[in-house]
Structure 1
Amino acid sequence: IEAQTRVAVVGETGSGKTTFAKLLTRLMDPTRGRVLLGDVPLASLSFASLRSRVVMVPQDGFLFDTTVADNVRYGRPDATDDDIQLAFTELGLLDWLETLPDGIRTAVGERGESLSVGEKQLVAIARAYVADPDLLVLDEATSAVDPATEVRLARALDSLTRGRTTLTIAHRLSTAEAADEVLVVDKGVVVQRGSHAELVAVPGVYADLHASWVNQSR
């Protein structure tokens, strides 16, 4: 994968998309071969180094039972309140932050129960933003969110991924269409790769998947 490109990984359920994310974050190690970050094998990095260079934003936007600020600070422990406030501003999320009763000092409750699914994703995105990783891994949420949060998520993700090497486990047609490159996975194997325009123009797994997405959106 070229540096500073946005890559979407697509495929049917059970095709092996999530395995990509697990390999890149070392939640799983390959049984053969190596995963390299630049020229450096991931297996040679310390846990602390890996976590600073590779950051994952999971589907559920997992949060701890503390404040918004402290949840963001897990991405970079030395981040000040001003750094965190700036992150929300640069992500275009200041309007959302101002809806919270205590701003970044708002307590989110156990597993972020006081926030919606989409709002938890916003905090997780801010956490990734302050971490400033070399590689960003996104497991796109499948849960429906309200229109206003959907717009905020799209805006924040665009800011987060711009100019950054990003691999997204894609569940939305728009994500695949906007990616610089699409990897199509079937039964654990990359069977196609190319841009959306290139892949949709030829018969194959991607064209079939694209047709299915279009039909579902009608």
Structure 2
Amino acid sequence: MSFLFLGISIYSQEKKHFTGYSNILQSIIPNQKTDFWILVHNSYGKNQEVRTVGTKKDYIPQSSGFNLFPDENGFFYIVSSSAGKLEYITDLSGLKTFIGKIDNAEEAAIMLTSEGYFVDEEFNDLAGNYSEDGKNYYLEVGKLTSKECPYQKKHFNITVNKATGEVTGTRDDGTYIELYNKKCTNNPRLLKIEKKEPPKDEPKKSNPSTKRR
């Protein structure tokens, strides 16, 4: 029996990859009952309805929204209707309220974006994973720690309690990206090798081979 429980424990903590910001947002379970809600992605001025739950009604396309990744192209927003009242969710604060209680690992990842963490799709082996057990979600996510020279990302292991939605543990796993450009004064590739101090002038020695006349 002990082997069975051990197997269940290991299986329950198996790592899984997050599969893109759109899929993360589609996993939202709203905190309150809605007549309908729509997830919209705007890219280069074009709106695409990514997910529609319920029977939608006419709404006004938005010109701004939220991102789950630093410097992401385009943005998302949510149109929601509750008791016949339309609401437009265009920032992370409103998104957090819309989500309310954390129901899954995707919602936990969304909540962490307000603290500067993000799922890094390009490096999801390091900063785009999660596992869970009966008590917690364990998320491996990235964080942009410097936009200056050098541009730097770190990855963190964050523990989120399922019952309360609170972060109960944060582990810094170190830097996984550090980029320099030509303008960086501290670019190690451009730093000149320190010049050695020139030797001090030594007194000239007389030439013993000088011929005597």
Give TM class, smaller chain: under 0.3
TM-score (norm 2): 0.24
- The structure whose residues are more often strand, as a share, is 2
Higher RCO (Cα < 8 Å, 6 or more apart): 1
Query: Which structure has the highest helix share of the two?
Result: 1
TM-score, with normalisation over the residues of structure 1?
A: 0.24
Q: Larger radius of gyration, structure 1 or 2? A: 2
